[in-house]
A and B are shown apart, each in its own frame.
Chain A
Amino acid sequence: MHPQNLRRMAKRTKTDYCQNLLQSYRKRAKGQFLFFKVCEHLNLMEKDYFGLTYKDTHDHKCWLDPTKEIKRQIRNSWQFSFNVKFYPPDPSLLTEDLTRYLLCLQLREDVACGRLPCSFVTHTLLGSYTLQAELGDYEVDQPKPLDYMSQLTFAPNQNKDMEEKILELHKSHRGMTPAQADAQFLENAKKLSMYGVDLHHAKDSEGVDITLGVCANGLLVYKDRLRINRFAWPKILKISYKRNNFYIKIRPGETEQFESTVGFKLQNHRSAKRLWKVCVENHSFFRLNAPEPPTKARFLTLGSKFRYSGRTQAQTRVASSLIDRPAPNFERTSSKRISRSLDGASFIFPQFIIYAFTCSFIHFYLFCAFVLFCCMSAFQSSLGVHGENIYVRHSNLMLEDHDKTQDEVLKHQASISQLKRSFMEAPPPSPPQPNQWEKRLTSSPTTTIRVQPHPVVRVWMLMTLRLKEGASGCILMRIFHTDNFFSESVSSESESEEEAEYHPNVHVSIAHSEIPEEKEEEEEEEEEVEVHVVEQIPNDTILPPVIEEAAPVEVQQQETHDAERPKEAEEKHTTEPENDESTDDPMLTPEEAPPPNGLPLAEEDSPDAGQEEPKVNGQPMTVETEHRPQVICCTEPPVVKTEMVTISDTFAAQKTEIATKEVPIVHTETKTITYEASQLDGNADGEPGVLMTAQTITSESLCTTTTTHITKTLKGGLSETRIEKRIVITGDCDIDHDEALAQAIKEAKEQHPDMSVTRVVVHKETELAEEEED
């Protein structure tokens, strides 16, 4: 989608856009789906700082959990707002002006409603930057500017005096661009003491009313406006709640011998849980390099297993640094107009309203078609070529009979390793990488078996993008994306959970640059790190370029030799991607795909593979409701329990190896679809280039693992850059893989708008647990 006019977007909210969002409801989509839709609509890439909120039955603002079904979280109110969830401590480090603009919108609302208190002087200053950003230079002949001003909300107790001061300052900003004005706004707003502090009312142990503030640095305790205590994250050993009590266990100070626990009383257990979740998320986002995996599914234990599932600040900064699309166009709308459009309310921030609909299978299938189309058209436009240039191939590795023979397992493994080989045409750059991959391959099925007795689908996606850069050479990019959606029980929790714990230990790979003022404390902390944690995230920090063998790169190098053709293709897709997207080319649907063309990943042709598409997605609809993960944990046969134990050591490579061998309880159905641009063919071998740099960035979380592998080679005066991103989606069928694929392609396209996708490989594996067979 192209840059959006935000105002138009706000207006369109209730029309076509809602239609799309509605689909998500029908599909029982997870929060993530809706959130991605909204971000897509906003054309936002640095989305990790944001989230969707809804009001619970008690009118409390709650964050929509991306890993859980929307329907299960909200209570009849299909109204969400898009909000800043993690306020970046230094907004100047954001990559895009659009992101800064959205942050400004949030802060303007925060300031105007008094949530972010500031002095008179600061109100006037921020107001003047808002005017400069929205209206441009002060116009001397503007009639009655003060009348206009009084319709804008800058402060909770705005008066004429303030408005005059704002105008006066506005005059002084002459010549400042909107982006500069936003930047200045943020520079001033970020210094405010309550910037990014999420407040929760509580009582201390003596019943005195206090306010707890969660922020990037830790937990703040206020009595009225005064800060009376502060617990920096490194000082906190454990965060927990039990009923309406919220506890933090404090690391002993220099002179103390024992840990102490501080307790606070919240209004009710929901408030306590909400506070606890905010703490877990803030700690993870600001202090960790990668989110902590969910707690082990202990047998018959209670308590929330909630963990932050998004990217951490460290990860999102890496991701942001890879954005190289041209700055998106967007229009800054007047706060006034926006607030009018929302029935005179003072909302400046876009809101999304969705109406409830009844779910039915018809809708569901319609939805499938819709997503499929999205996915295909996105693919097509990225390629910038039409049907005849694309070869689509299906391979259905269906294991027909349900007997789990050793043969099958081997076959299964063979197919996995073949996939792996093809995916890793470029051998991994550093030792930790293959392990990571190995682990994912081997551990994922068992993980899902444990938690979901019904079909499990794993999808790998591989995209190859190509870019011609300048006249001097071609840049070849291959996008390899890894996403990992764990299945439901991971995030399963219910209102009945009245307690939970969280140990905010910072992993060894914490980015030391994150919170420089607490370096000392961080050092202290590292002593706490356990060995398995270190193993868990071997490669999370940005590695300095690692030199690897040149061999991997050569496979695709020749493609870039032909400077003309890529150029053509690129021109096509950069000039008219939107048109392409809207073209419904039948050539692109899997059913009508032309015959395969010797693609490496295809094992076997299966003309009817496409027809199974809806079935794969449809299955969970029929089985899901009866199977709650908690129950399954207790009723699974012993062999499965054993697997559970194995899973708890997911990160010990050896053990997961064993787990894979024990996979026999699973039936596997795999399917591989490869889409490839024709230019690739016949260019199979080329002389190796000189490897300049190779770099691998891995980020991993509960739901997302992204491995980005960048190599630069120099060959015959041509410089080639290749980025590989791997996406692995593992989870129950309820996850919309097609949507995820479309999203991934889209993201890749956005990040590198001037490249063409040269290859996309989709491999699906459906595994049926034994209980499901009949």
Chain B
Amino acid sequence: MAGLLAKFGHYTHAVVRGIPSSLATEALRSSQSEVDLAKAHQEHAEYVEVLRTRLGLEVVELPADEALPDCVFVEDAAVVCGDTALITRPGAVSRRGETEAMKEALKKLDLNLVEMTDENATLDGGDVLFTGQEFFVGLSKRTNQRGAEILADAFKDYAVSTVPVTEGLHLKSFCSMGGPGLILIGASEHAQKALKTMQQMSNYRYDKLTVPDDLAANCIYMNVPGKGHVLLHTTGDQFPESFKVLEKLTDYTLIAVSGLEKMKVDGALTCCSILINKKTDI
């Protein structure tokens, strides 16, 4: 059965979405920077290609919507764990429309949908870290307590702990899972503080791997049949010091994916896909 028995990092499907031209100018960003749209398209195509061919996922590609400049960052629109998908209520008002297409796509994948309808609740998927045993939800500019409560209600099997996010956009702006029981974490003070909180809150013990750059701590871990541990990470050109750290994961297949342009609009690697494990064995 999925849910409790799902092995961590096993996925069969990925949901991605195209880049609208409006991203270049209208997408939300924390710093003023010009996005090279063509380059962004190219990067994204590469990213999708890696998911499809190298990781063997069935990729569901949603068309871009010009009215939703941030729509490429599908992660924020839903949280999928096991057979259940929580359709979120993104913190940024301009992004609320992103959930519509996502809802339809996930429905087609036959997941149990839970919608966040409470108007007091906000939650971005980027604030949700699922470790395989439990959830950590970052309380950030985009995610509030009520949103976290609804998430806890949707995934009753798991403990849901809240972690204050004082800097950075999302919880996963400085961390991600690097494997079963392994948290990749940025070296910044606030990242380390958040890790401490997570460690204190958990009944489980996690290993940590600290990378010098917060943004490089956002990676995509997968357990691919025939390949074992696979980690999608930012390129060594972009974060050479962090890459050196990741190289220590010797039994991993490391796949570098460039995310330079998307990063200009606060898009990390995990932001651009929702990974789903559809059981095939029952």
Determine whether the beta carbon of A121 is less than 8 Å from that of B155: no
Tell which of A137-145, A185-193, A322-330, A361-369 binds the partner.
A185-193
Determine whether the beta carbon of B205 is less than 8 Å from that of A518: yes
5 A-B pairs with CB atoms under 8 Å apart are: A120-B84, A122-B4, A125-B4, A226-B160, A518-B205
| Given A121-B83, A188-B4, A193 contacting B157 (CB threshold 8 A) | yes
Query: CB-nearest residue of chain B relative to A228?
Result: B162
Least distance between B201 CB and chain A CB atoms (Å): 5
User: Using an 8 Å CB-CB cutoff, how does the interface string of A187-205 with B read, 1 for contact, 0 for none?
Assistant: 0100111000000000000
Contact of A230 among B83, B145, B202 (CB under 8 A): B202
* B interface residues with partner A (beta carbon < 8 Å): 1-5, 82-84, 112, 133-134, 137, 145, 148-149, 152-162, 200-205, 282
User: Using an 8 Å CB-CB cutoff, how does the interface string of A156-197 with B read, 1 for contact, 0 for none?
Assistant: 000000000000010010000000000000001001110000
User: Using an 8 Å CB-CB cutoff, how does the interface string of A228-248 with B read, 1 for contact, 0 for none?
Assistant: 111010000000000000000
| A532 CB-CB contact with B under 8 Å | no
Determine whether the beta carbon of A227 is less than 8 Å from that of B157: no
Determine whether the beta carbon of A122 is less than 8 Å from that of B157: yes
Instruction: With A172-B282, A223-B145, A224-B149 given, name 4 new contacts (CB 8 A).
Output: A193-B158, A224-B152, A227-B160, A227-B161
Q: How far is the CA of A122 from the CA of B157 in the complex (A)?
A: 8
User: Using an 8 Å CB-CB cutoff, how does the interface string of A501-526 with B read, 1 for contact, 0 for none?
Assistant: 00000000000000001100000000
Q: How far is the CA of A215 from the CA of B160 in the complex (A)?
A: 16
Least distance between A254 CB and chain B CB atoms (Å): 9
Least distance between B151 CB and chain A CB atoms (Å): 9
Q: How far is the CA of A217 from the CA of B83 in the complex (A)?
A: 29
Determine whether the beta carbon of A517 is less than 8 Å from that of B1: no
User: B205: which A residues are within 8 A, CB to CB?
Assistant: 517-518
Contact of B155 among A119, A215, A228 (CB under 8 A): A119
Determine whether the beta carbon of A119 is less than 8 Å from that of B159: no
User: B137: which A residues are within 8 A, CB to CB?
Assistant: 226
Determine whether the beta carbon of B3 is less than 8 Å from that of A517: no
User: A215: which B residues are within 8 A, CB to CB?
Assistant: 203
Tell me which of A117, A192, A223, A226 has the highest count of chain B C-beta atoms within 10 A of its own C-beta.
A226
Determine whether the beta carbon of B157 is less than 8 Å from that of A192: yes
Q: DSSP majority for the B interface?
A: mixed
| A8 CB-CB contact with B under 8 Å | no
User: A225: which B residues are within 8 A, CB to CB?
Assistant: 149, 152-153, 160
User: A518: which B residues are within 8 A, CB to CB?
Assistant: 205
Query: CB-nearest residue of chain B relative to A122?
Result: B157
| A118 CB-CB contact with B under 8 Å | yes
Least distance between A338 CB and chain B CB atoms (Å): 26
Least distance between A119 CB and chain B CB atoms (Å): 5
Least distance between B82 CB and chain A CB atoms (Å): 6
User: B158: which A residues are within 8 A, CB to CB?
Assistant: 193
Determine whether the beta carbon of A230 is less than 8 Å from that of B4: no
Q: How far is the CA of A122 from the CA of B112 in the complex (A)?
A: 13
Least distance between B245 CB and chain A CB atoms (Å): 23
Least distance between A631 CB and chain B CB atoms (Å): 45
Q: How far is the CA of A125 from the CA of B6 in the complex (A)?
A: 13
Q: How far is the CA of A122 from the CA of B137 in the complex (A)?
A: 22
Query: CB-nearest residue of chain B relative to A230?
Result: B201
Query: CB-nearest residue of chain B relative to A515?
Result: B203
Query: CB-nearest residue of chain B relative to A190?
Result: B4
Contact of B204 among A119, A229, A517 (CB under 8 A): A517
Determine whether the beta carbon of A121 is less than 8 Å from that of B149: no
Query: What are the 7 closest A-B residue pairs judged by CB atoms, nearest first?
Result: A193-B159, A225-B152, A517-B205, A227-B161, A117-B156, A121-B3, A119-B156
Least distance between A183 CB and chain B CB atoms (Å): 14
User: B1: which A residues are within 8 A, CB to CB?
Assistant: 121, 125, 169
Q: How far is the CA of A121 from the CA of B155 in the complex (A)?
A: 10
Least distance between B170 CB and chain A CB atoms (Å): 18
Q: How far is the CA of A223 from the CA of B201 in the complex (A)?
A: 13
Contact of B161 among A119, A122, A226 (CB under 8 A): A226
Determine whether the beta carbon of A227 is less than 8 Å from that of B201: yes
Determine whether the beta carbon of A226 is less than 8 Å from that of B152: yes
Q: How far is the CA of A169 from the CA of B4 in the complex (A)?
A: 15
| Given A226-B145, A227-B201, A229-B201, A119 contacting B3 (CB threshold 8 A) | yes
